[in-house]
Amino acid sequence: MEIWINPACSKCRSAVQLLDAEGTEYTVRRYLEDVPSPDEIRAVLDRLGLEPWDITRTQEADAKELGLKEWPREAGSRERWISALAEHPKLIQRPIITADDGTAVVGRTDEAVRDALGR
């Protein structure tokens, strides 16, 4: 199990605390320092069953600067969104937990983190 976190994020700290409390073995990836490649983002999206715009933090300054709210949310724009996430990792929703069974969840709630634990 791997968890992508920003240590400054309260949701990430909460998810890590819950994983620790459950005695879970996991690897931490500080994705702002160890930036995921476009291929890694595609793989996580496949595991999540989501599109890049579904995991984009559109209220971030970078998102506003890029005008992401105006970008089309369609298959033809998918690669543009993935490139933006790779170039501006702060835009990636967090925390993302990749489970051992090949799935993933965005662990913003205790329920989502427990869901990952049950996989």
Give the residue numbers annotated as catalytic, written as ranges.
9
Q: Which helix (H) or strand (E) holds 105?
A: strand 104-106
Residue 94 CB coordination number (10 Å): 22
Instruction: Pull the structure tokens for residue 48.
Output: 């999540």
d(CA 41, CA 93): 12
Instruction: Pull the structure tokens for residue 31.
Output: 């994705």
